[in-house]
Amino acid sequence: MSGNLTSGTTNILVAEDDSWWATFDFDPSGYVKDDEKIDADALLKELKSYDEAANDERVRLGLEKLYTDSWAVAPKYDPVSKHLEWALKVRSANNTETINYTVRLLGRTGVMSATLVSDPENLDKNIQAFKKSIQGFEYNTGQRYTEFKAGDKVAEYGLAALVVGGVAAVATKKGFWAMIAAFFAATWKFILVGFAALFGFIGKIFKRNKE
């Protein structure tokens, strides 16, 4: 068991067979402009440069060190769905590999972050299952990215910062992995979230397309 951290209110979705789990949280940081080109190599180099400082913080929090390895899925943005996705491979001090697959769903007032945690061997299968689980969901009317209006709050960063900032938050902020440690200690029982409960939360911002 390694450690992972996020900020804000986090909801967790666990596969029925416990083969993967994912976190969801919304950041009301404003409208993120999507006209920035993404340089995956430069982003990976930047992320690796943060490892030392992030690990100092992890040690302070009593968590084991993690090291950025490579992209399992290089960052890519779909201008139609307004989804930004990537998967980062990280390893622990004892060389245990973990892959975090992340999707950022851009909206009018902020970004919904959905992160899948999977073992490398089952990544492709688990990504497909994860995508299927959130298929058909979109922002409610008035909250969609395309409904941006002059005067709306605009985020102070672009697509690249969503990647770097998202990974940095996982690496350095306290709360999430402490919760996950308790989650595993309780044998997955107290925090297991069904689809209905999870999307009840997301329903405040999203609606499901039943077509």
DSSP, collapsed to helix, strand or coil, labels residue 51 as: helix
Q: Are 154 and 31 in contact, with CB atoms under 8 Å apart?
A: yes
Is 211 inside a domain boundary? Answer: no
The kind and range of the H/E element at 57 are helix 51-60
Residue-range definition of the domain harbouring residue 47: 11-201
Q: 168 pLDDT band (50/70/90 cuts)?
A: very low
Q: How many domains is the chain built from?
A: 1
Tell me the C-alpha distance between 77 and 100, whole Å.
Answer: 17
Please, what is the angle between helix 159-172 and helix 51-60, to 10°? 30
- Does the pTM surpass 0.85? The reply is no
Does the pLDDT at position 44 exceed 70? yes
Tell me the C-alpha distance between 45 and 85, whole Å.
Answer: 18
Is 71 inside a domain boundary? Answer: yes
Is 111 inside a domain boundary? Answer: yes
pLDDT in tens, 174-208: 444 444 444 344 333 333 333 333 334 444 445 54
Is 193 inside a domain boundary? Answer: yes
